Amino acid sequence: MRGIPDLAEVEAMDAADPLRALRDRFVLPEGVIYLDGNSLGAASINVFNEIEKSAKQEWARDLIRAWNTAGWFDMPVQLGDRLGRLIGAAPGQTVVCDTTSINIYKVLHAALAIRPERPTIVAEGDSFPTDLYMAEGVASTRPGTVLRLEGVDAPAIEDLIDDHVAVILVNHVNYKSGRLRDMAALTRKAHDAGALIVWDLCHTAGALPVDLDGSNADFAIGCTYKYLNGGPGAPAFIYAATRHHPDISQPLSGWWGHARPFAFEQGYAAGSGIRRFLCGTQPVLSMRALKGALDLWDEVDMTAVREKSVALTDLFIRLVEARCGAFGLELESPRDGAERGSQVSFAHPHGYQVMRALIERGVIGDFRAPSTVRFGFTPLYVGYRDVWNAVEVLEDILRTGAWQEARYAIKEAVT
């Protein structure tokens, strides 16, 4: 994109958008520009249909029989295979289950068990906090385990990888800046040192094409309530390359992961393959909501999603810097679209107040301490005119100083 487009050019971009029709499949409030899909995706009609069917027909009519008649018990693996298509995973390597935090705990234990002679976990100092909290928790249960952090123990994660490292836990897209890492290159670096790698795809799945198998990744985890639009608290997922399946062991040995769960045996015997990462009974209604979300994704070309994502975020950066550059905003995301995910972050000394003012005016993004305002662009339902209108509101708030009203400084529980 050259120069700053005018409104007519922006509207022409919408008219030529191959994903434009998908917007009508989502339920979005009138007058709202939703730029927070990197935190919670919008609701789709498909999801509502699945929830109604699973609650009113399967649960209400079939009751416990629905575990068989509706196939509830096999949903974690079935949905895992469908999700696997979006992250470059062949069937049998992905399972939908539990939460991201719990899955991090399980997969780090599994990786450490595969490399028992190595005591070190490597992670990013600026990782999303739950990754670090869970890594600390894993280390606390294994005497002698050490946690090394990028930005604390060395400037770059590559500098921390040596023959003491068992596993590297790394975000594909940084949650705050949106910076995108080279999956294939870092995976090679890990393997050259004999280490395993776990990719956090929370800000990747549904936002851009991923090739876990092609990159020779070992493990991955992620959530489904952001760009995949599975709903608040939707179940997370785990990927494990087939080559590691015989060696998988993890400490949450619940009955769903048992080889014969309905034999009701006294001792634990791990199931086969990716099912070894299952633990307890899974949330069926949430699983069915995710099924509805994935039904829509079956129609989507991830290359088209990525192209539109880069175009949306490029447009946003250009318009913000052209119209709001004099008001204290500083770009925190990479300027090159090839180096970022589907979000743009700016720093502002009063970022919290600015975001509160934006939300009140119908432009919904979010804030990350201490000074980051984040805007997530979900190509399935965000259009180019949305970007234009959002920047108009942002410019007005900054130019008039509307964000300075005292009520915007009152912190809410969720930012």
Which residues, at least 6 apart from 93, have a Cβ–Cβ distance to it below 8 Å?
Answer: 80, 84, 212, 213, 239, 240, 241, 242, 274
pLDDT tens per residue, range 94-145: 999 999 999 999 999 999 999 999 999 999 999 999 999 999 999 999 999 9
Report the chain's terminal Cα–Cα distance, integer Å. 33
Burial class (CB in 10 A: 0-12, 13-18, 19+), 389: middle
The string of pLDDT tens digits covering residues 11-70 is 999 999 999 999 999 999 999 999 999 999 999 999 999 999 999 999 999 999 999 999
Mean pLDDT of 266-285: 96
Q: Find how far residue 174's CA is from the centre of its chain.
A: 10
CB 315 within 8 A of CB 384: yes
The verdict on whether 200 is a catalytic residue reads yes
Which of the residues 26, 128, 367, 381 is marked catalytic?
Answer: 128
Instruction: Tell me how far CA of residue 84 lies from CA of 78, 162, 239, in angstroms.
Output: 10, 31, 8
Residue 281 CA to residue 98 CA, distance in Å, equals: 9
Kindly indicate the confidence band of residue 414, based on its pLDDT and cuts at 50, 70 and 90: confident
Token digits of residue 176: 């705050």
- Count the neighbouring beta carbons within 10 Å of the beta carbon of residue 291: 21
Domain locations in the chain as residue ranges: 7-30+301-409, 49-297
What CATH number was assigned to the domain covering residues 7-30+301-409?
3.90.1150.10
Q: 36 catalytic, yes or no?
A: no
The answer for residues whose C-beta is within 8 angstroms of residue 341's C-beta and 6 or more apart is 38, 172, 173, 174, 178, 179, 180, 203, 204, 207, 208, 309
In this chain, the answer to whether the domains covering 7-30+301-409 and 49-297 adopt an identical fold is no
Residue pointed to by tokens 């990716």: 274
Report helix, strand or coil for 286.
helix
Q: DSSP labels for 64-110? A: GGHHHHS-GGGHHHHHHHHHHGGGT--TTSEEE-S-HHHHHHHHHHH
For the cut 80, the answer to whether the pLDDT of residue 2 exceeds it is: no
Q: Find all residues with CB under 8 Å of 41, minimum gap 6, and list them.
A: 206, 225, 226, 227, 228, 229, 230, 231, 293, 378
Active site residue 226: yes
Active site residue 374: yes
Q: Which of 106, 226, 275, 356 is catalytic?
A: 226
Closest among 84, 102, 155, 105 to 126, alpha carbons compared: 155
Instruction: Give the Cα separation of 414 and 277 in Å (integer).
Output: 31
Count the alpha carbons within 13 Å of 304 in the hemisphere toward its beta carbon: 11
Are 376 and 365 within 8 A, CB to CB? yes
Catalytic residue among 200, 218, 366, 386: 200
Judge whether residue 226 has pLDDT over 80.
Answer: yes
359-407 per-position pLDDT tens digit: 999 999 999 999 999 999 999 999 999 999 999 999 999 999 999 999 9
Query: In terms of Cα–Cα distance, which of 152, 151, 147, 153 is closest to 134?
Result: 147
Count CA within 13 A, CB hemisphere, residue 3: 5
Q: Which of 105, 225, 239, 316 is catalytic?
A: 225
Question: Can you tell me which residue has the tokens 């410019």?
Answer: 395
Task: Identify which of 139, 138, 161 has the alpha carbon closest to the alpha carbon of residue 150.
Answer: 161
Is 133 tagged catalytic? Answer: no
CATH number of 49-297: 3.40.640.10
- What's the pLDDT tens digit per position in 287-339? 999 999 999 999 999 999 999 999 999 999 999 999 999 999 999 999 999 99
Please return the burial class of 28, using the count of CB atoms within 10 Å of its CB with bins 0-12, 13-18 and 19+: middle
Beta bridge partners of 373: 346, 367
User: pLDDT digits over 94-106, tens only?
Assistant: 999 999 999 999 9
